[in-house]
A and B are shown apart, each in its own frame.
Chain A
Amino acid sequence: MARVVVDVMLKPEILDPAGQAVANALPRLGITRVSSVRIGKRIEIEFAGEPDLDQAHRIADKLLANLVIEDFTVRVEETAPAATP
């Protein structure tokens, strides 16, 4: 079985205040060498049967990402067969 993974990230020029808030919290963990944190979304799509990259691309383009502010990548991720319980 394979799933399609879509990663959606804010475009580099779009401010990510949530990512900045995370970056600003890192010194509290004693981590001081991180210069930037940006937060995106990972969406996993499972098709009945073979994964359809074209359709996944269409889903990402029409719904999952807003291309005014976001970019996306689409890839197939091989998954191990479901473990028997």
Chain B
Amino acid sequence: MSTVIGVVTFPGSLDDRDAVRAARLSGATAVRLWHADNDLHGVDAVILPGGFSYGDYLRCGAIARFAPVMESIADAARGGMPVLGVCNGFQILCEAHLLPGALTRNQHLHFRNRDQQLRVSSTGSAWTNAFAAGQELLIPVKNGEGRYVADARTLDELEAEDRVVARYVGVNPNGSMRDIAAIRNEAGNVVGIMPHPEHAVEELTGPSVDGLGFFTSVLKHLAGAPSLQPAATA
């Protein structure tokens, strides 16, 4: 049976269709989840896509965090279900306290939209196990509030526990502390990333197909970790 990845649509999501397409190209079955429906429909993993959920009023992700679907996702994430938050999804995961820190206004105040070089620094997550440590990727970044911020102790902990998943290489597009582009939780099933792997899955439209590795990683993780699934669907 094929692995099923659910992609959530919030009002204001933009990249949900691209995320569905990326999941399918990687070999998964992709289904759409709706923000107002707290039923996860038995999916094996969840993607929170980029966009401007609920208009990003108040703070990015602040209102989406209280969507009915997020309650189920938070429970499932604590039970080990893989969850990937991209851009606005990363912001939502931080607002929901599933990941530490916060994403704030880009240091230079400009929206940045460019192809970005990244270096994978942790392959110990459900979403990066198909990469080699230190592997460089070229993936689009597009954000206005993507500057990762946390206190020094949290940053030290993330580094000491191998929880910085990827860093910007060359130019830091938003002033993120310690060049952080992506982080994971302790268990490694929850990953937040500011650049967009789902936009780098086809030669025709992306700068590379480096993004596919995130999605094939989760398939590999789920194939090798059936024990996680009962908790995930409970």
Contacts and interface: CB of A to CB of B under 8 A. Distances in A.
Interface of A: 13-15, 17-18, 21, 41, 63-64, 66, 68-69
A20 to B, nearest CB: 9
A69 B149 contact: yes
Contacts of A13: 151
Contacts of B100: 68
5 contacts: A15-B107, A15-B149, A17-B109, A18-B105, A63-B66
A15 B104 contact: yes
B58 A63 contact: yes
Contacts of A14: 104, 149
A68 B154 CA distance: 11
Nearest to B61: A66
Contacts, number: 35
B64 to A, nearest CB: 12
A68 B94 contact: yes
Contacts of A18: 105, 109
Interface string B88-118: 0000001100001110111111000000000
Contacts of B106: 17
B151 to A, nearest CB: 8
Given A63-B66, A66-B95, A68-B150, A17 B107 contact: yes
Contacts of A15: 104, 107, 147, 149, 175
A21 B109 contact: yes
Contact of A66 (B59, B66, B107, B108): B59
Given A17-B109, A63-B66, A69 B104 contact: yes
B77 to A, nearest CB: 18
B222 interface: no
The residue among A14, A21, A69 with the most chain B CB atoms within 10 A of its own CB is A69
B58 to A, nearest CB: 7
B175 to A, nearest CB: 8
B22 to A, nearest CB: 29
A14 B106 CA distance: 12
A66 B147 CA distance: 15
The 10 closest A-B pairs by CB, nearest first: A68-B102, A69-B102, A17-B109, A17-B107, A17-B105, A66-B102, A66-B59, A21-B109, A69-B149, A18-B105
B25 interface: no
A10 to B, nearest CB: 8
B14 interface: no
Contacts of A66: 59, 62, 95, 102
Nearest to B65: A63
B39 to A, nearest CB: 24
B74 to A, nearest CB: 14
A56 B58 CA distance: 16
Contacts of A41: 58
B4 to A, nearest CB: 32
